[in-house]
Structure 1
Amino acid sequence: MNVHVVIGAGGMGEAIARRGGTDRTIVLADINQDLLAAATDTLAGEGLTVERLHVDVTDAESMHALAEQAANLGPVVSAVHTAGLSPAQASTDAILRVDLVGVAHFLDAFGQVIAGGGAGVVIASMAGTMSAGRLPDTLESQLATTPTSALLNLPFLATITDPGTAYGIAKRANQLRVQAAALAWGTRGARVNSVSPGVISTPMGLQELAGESGAQMRAMIDAAPTRRIGTPDDIAAAVAFLTGPDASYITGTDLLVDGGAVAGVRAHMH
């Protein structure tokens, strides 16, 4: 049976696992065993075939072991990385290790096992889209192509003290590294893209709404054409498209799924 890998067992990860898991073995992975067990039990209770595996995305060996375990179960036709930390949850250092380096480990490891015709998706963020153009081209190039083991040694990262800034840069790096990784994935006949969600009604999203940046986020929602918060299913639908046959000519790019929030912000700026 084909394998559908989802890293991150939160609200978004569970929705993506459910949407893409029909007629496939779902491999759901997380570092939080309680969260992983709850999501796995829910999906299995719905009749889906689920394997739960532990992963520490900040550790290269752990990520490569996950990729090998998944490939041993069958052809890995889809692999989705949703695991991440937000500014309200974590320090600058933790955000860079999980959101920046974790995604780089995913692209490295699953780029070696993804099946021909398969596809990967990284969940980035509209924060990355908003960060585009704020960094010099030289720094964007470094974020895109620096070997994973040397990423945290980039000098400019040591100057970042604000978790919000770290988050935006990490998510911009996700978009850039996906673009760069598309070439390597293409040698296997596979594709890889990123999805950049807006404000989504997950526990993490709601925590951000209740935090320091909540007022700014609510203003973005109010200024957006859709004037609503997104749902995990909105993101799962985008991922299903990008990992499906209708997206066979789409790779190395980002899909912004934000209800028009960025468009609203830019319209007001102009």
Structure 2
Amino acid sequence: MSGTASGIGKALAGLLRAQGDEVIGIDLKDADVCADLSTPEGRALAVESVLGMCGGVLDGVVACAGVSTFTTLTVRVNYFGVTAMLEGLRPALAAAPAPRAAVIGSISGTKPAVPEVVRACLDGLEEEAVESGERAVERGDGRMLYPSSKSALAQWLRRVCVTPEWAGCGIPLNAVAPGVVLTPMSDPLFADEEMRKAMDAAVPMPLNGYAEPEVVAEALRWLISPANSHMSGQVVYVDGGAEATLRGPDVY
């Protein structure tokens, strides 16, 4: 599992360990495997290290690591870091009797994106995606890179989840899409009152407001549990009703 040093990943790792599961955590620091998922070398190190520690068999893989900067680091980590890890560890999942996989999407994935970035991501062209992202930053559209990374990730998930390599090997692959979660990544948003107002307008959460990371972790725990035998390719919005509020009843 990536992103175990803080936020949703830390919460999920705690839940799984409490129920007796062995968790191999990946993060920049304070993890079983310390690796930088923004680089091809870091991703390769993470995959190689996990495969060595698990003996080539994994019951589940969850990609929680992510960033929300207005730079192209967001694209490298949130899309290429996630997909490389999932693809690299997929053979170990296929070797398990009841494997499961999940990723972290976002309500932001429903927001306007940079088409060139999304297209390059889905084509597997990392440097082209980064170059398109840099042009977006230059014209003042850096805020669109996070939605772009999450939109591309959701589309990748829905494209590959039903293939022989995933569904054909009995591996459910799904995502949770949180609204605003109280994690270290969102702390800067709460520190700026104007930013907080903009966030509330962009992500209205009529059901119980902001979420603690454990709320999202519980949804992930079910997605990677043996109880999930037939859900695949789904983006589950754990967002206090934000997606339904923003897109209305005609999108379902």
Matches within 5 A, 1:233-248: 233-248=214-229
Shift of 1:92: 1.7
Compute the TM-score of the two structures, normalised by the length of structure 1: 0.77
Amino acid corresponding to residue 18 of structure 1 in structure 2: G
Residue 139 and residue 92 in structure 1: after superposition, are their counterparts in 2 closer, same or farther (change >3 A)?
A: closer
Corresponding letter in the other structure for 2:24: V
Partner Cα separation in structure 1 for residue 142 and residue 79 of structure 2: 13
2:65 is paired with a residue whose SS is coil
**What displacement does 1:188 show?**
3.1
Aligned residue in 2 for 1:181: 160
Structure 1 Cα separation of the partners of residues 6 and 197 of structure 2: 24
The offset of 1:233, in angstroms, is 0.8
- Unaligned ranges ≥5, structure 1: 38-51
Could you say which residue in structure 2 is the equivalent of 1:17?
Answer: 13
Deviations 1:139-195 (A, max 9, x none): 756543x12xx2331474453113320011011111111122322323432121111
* Residue type of the alignment partner of 1:63: R
* Matching residue of 1:109: 88
Identity of aligned pairs, percent? 25
Q: RMSD over aligned Cα, in angstroms?
A: 2.6
Matched, 1:85 2:82: no
Decide which of 215, 240, 247 is 1:259's aligned counterpart: 240
Q: Shift of the alpha carbon at 1:229?
A: 0.5
User: Is 1:67 equivalent to 2:64 in the alignment?
Assistant: no
Change in Cα spacing, 1:181 to 1:111, as seen in structure 2 (3 Å) is farther
Cα distance in 2 for residues equivalent to 1:113 and 1:234: 28
Q: Deviations over 1:34-60 (max 9, x none)?
A: xx16xxxxxxxxxxxxxx111111223
The answer on whether the counterparts of 2:118 and 2:148 sit within 8 Å (CA) in structure 1 is no
Shift of 1:111: 1.9
Between the aligned partners of 1:139 and 1:158, the Cα distance in structure 2 is 10
- CA 1:266–1:188: 2 relative to 1, 3 Å: closer
1:78 to partner: Cα distance? 1.2
Contact 1:16 1:233 in 2 (8 A): yes
C-alpha spacing 1:135/1:62, structure 2 compared with 1 (3 Å)? closer
Q: Which runs of 5+ in 2 are unaligned?
A: none
Whose strand proportion is higher, 1 or 2?
1
Distance 1:93 1:129, change over 3 A: same
Distance 1:266 1:178 in 2: 21
Paired amino acid for 1:84: G
Tell me, in whole angstroms, the C-alpha distance in 2 between the residues paired with 1:72 and 1:23: 21
1:113 offset after TM fit, Å?
A: 2.1
The answer on whether the counterparts of 1:193 and 1:254 sit within 8 Å (CA) in structure 2 is yes
For the residue of structure 2 that corresponds to 1:256, the secondary structure is strand
Change (3 A) 1:91 1:8: farther
Distance 1:84 1:17 in 2: 16
2:195 is matched with 213
Q: Which residue of 1 is the match for residue 26 of structure 2?
A: 29
Q: Deviations over 1:196-224 (max 9, x none)?
A: 11000111123223346321222356x43
Q: Which amino acid aligns with 1:245?
A: P
2: CA distance between counterparts of 1:258 and 1:202?
14
The amino acid across from 2:219 in the alignment is A
